[in-house]
Amino acid sequence: MRILWTALFLVCTICLTVQPALCGDETEYLPGQLRTELDRYVATPDPNYKYELLKETKGEGFTAYLLNMISQKWRSEDEVDRVLWQHWVTILKPDDLASDTALLFIGGGSNGKEPPNKVDDMLVKIAMGTKSVVVALGMIPNEPLHFKDEFMDKYKEKGRTEDELISFTWDKYLKTGDPTWPARLPMTKAVVRAMDTVTLFLESEQGGGVTVDKFTIAGGSKRGWTTWTTGAVDPRVVAIAPIVIDMLNVVPSFEHHWRA
């Protein structure tokens, strides 16, 4: 774990300090042209989106804000037990902020637990070392979820989490053809809504009235996959640091997994 955090620190420090060298040509992004189902899902407004400040904590050289965010409604009550996706969003803002680009780290975790009561020391080091905002987004995906047509007894009581949840939604997509079934869509939309939240909150009086409107995204495993998809749908992402999984070419990757 120490090696992972050290690697993340080095990569994110580079991304936050030399962004222009890492960015693609923004003119390649075609605003308004919603090319995929993922684009369309993320771009669809959701009246359930909201956030609120729960706690503000002053640290040595930084301020930490804990927000409670509802990113969206996914599926219906006839299909799953909990349709509103809820997340803890921790924003670390150094006192000597010198960048309008933030690092957003995508994390996991289960819903229904108490909000975090401390900030991660490594994320504080990244914020202080780069003089930039660092954000920790939790509960990607929301879990556990109980699906109404669950067909495996072991999940009927405890619900599905992580890969079991994601594989169930892919199975539903393959059987129904409904492109909004894969959990990849709400996972990506939650990160995009978190970027909205960070920008809106920090430009408010509560957040200090500062501008943060560009993002480096990082995450591991299924959150690494979400890192790729977030960068694909939102031009505010200037760099990505996906950890563990490479999902550049989904169809051949799935075939390789199946053959293995």
Domains identified in the chain, total number: 1
Range of the domain at 177: 2-259
Compute how many other C-beta atoms are within 10 angstroms of the C-beta atom of residue 244. Answer: 12
Amino acid identity at 189? K
Residue 134, φ and ψ in degrees, nearest 5:
-125, 135
Q: Where are the beta strands (DSSP E) in the chain?
A: 50-58, 62-73, 84-94, 101-106, 134-137, 214-220, 237-243
State the Cα–Cα distance between residues 80 and 148, nearest whole angstrom.
6
Residue 108 CB burial class (10 angstroms; 0-12, 13-18, ≥19): middle
Predicted TM-score (pTM) of the model is 0.88
State the Cα–Cα distance between residues 49 and 51, nearest whole angstrom.
7
Q: Which residues fall within 8 angstroms of residue 82, CB to CB, at 6 or more apart? A: 111, 142, 145, 146
47: domain CATH number is 3.40.50
Compute how many other C-beta atoms are within 10 angstroms of the C-beta atom of residue 141. Answer: 24
Reading the chain (260 residues) residue by residue, the pLDDT tens digits are 554 555 555 555 555 555 543 443 333 445 556 689 999 999 999 999 999 999 999 999 999 999 999 999 999 999 999 999 999 999 999 999 999 999 999 999 999 999 999 999 999 999 999 999 999 999 999 999 999 999 999 999 999 999 999 999 999 999 999 999 999 999 999 999 999 999 999 999 999 999 999 999 999 999 999 999 999 999 999 999 999 877 778 888 888 878 88
